[in-house]
Amino acid sequence: MTEIPMDYRIGDNAYLAAGKQEGIETLVNRFYDLMDSRTDASSLRQLHPDSLDRARQRLVWFLSGWLGGPALYQQNVGNQSLAMSHAQVAVTRDSMQAWLDCMSQALQDCGYPQSFHDYLMHRFTTPAHSMLMMAEYQARPTSTTPSFSAV
């Protein structure tokens, strides 16, 4: 019998495929363990405080709702806008790529099907690039407009 692939875009399918709350916690812990230990993720690690406990909890809450499960981030924090919650983070191309690489490795290490890995990495890439563009925009030098004095 042929297995019908799950459409992760529908309802809570992605949340269920992730293993609900327990699976998300395992994924997030693996992600932050990788970020904390991989030398190629040092630019990303430097953007975080020494303790990763708060970041771990917030990513679990965020992913829960983002994947179609309970909206824990909104319940506990309020605003779920990635742009707002990362507005002061100096994202670089290196730190963005390190985030994506650590998440890709965490998904593989947790044993998710390749189809789910590919689906999530596709979904993660767009906001990652958006945060990079926002950081680059905020870091640009401000132009000075010449002032004209009355003659």
Q: What residue numbers does the annotated binding site cover? A: 129
Exposure pattern of 35-64 as b/e (b: 16+ CB <10 Å)?
Answer: beeeeebebbbebeeeebeebbbbbbbbbb
Q: What residue numbers does the annotated binding site for heme cover? A: 129
The answer to whether the Cα torsion of 16, 22, 25, 31 is positive or negative is negative
Please provide the DSSP assignment of 94-112 as one string.
HHHHHHHHHHHHHHHHTT-
* Closest CA relative to residue 9, chosen from 120, 125, 127, 113: 120
Helix, strand or coil, per DSSP, at residue 4: coil
Angle between helices 93-109 and 114-139 (to 10 degrees): 160
Q: How far apart are the first and last CA of the chain?
A: 86
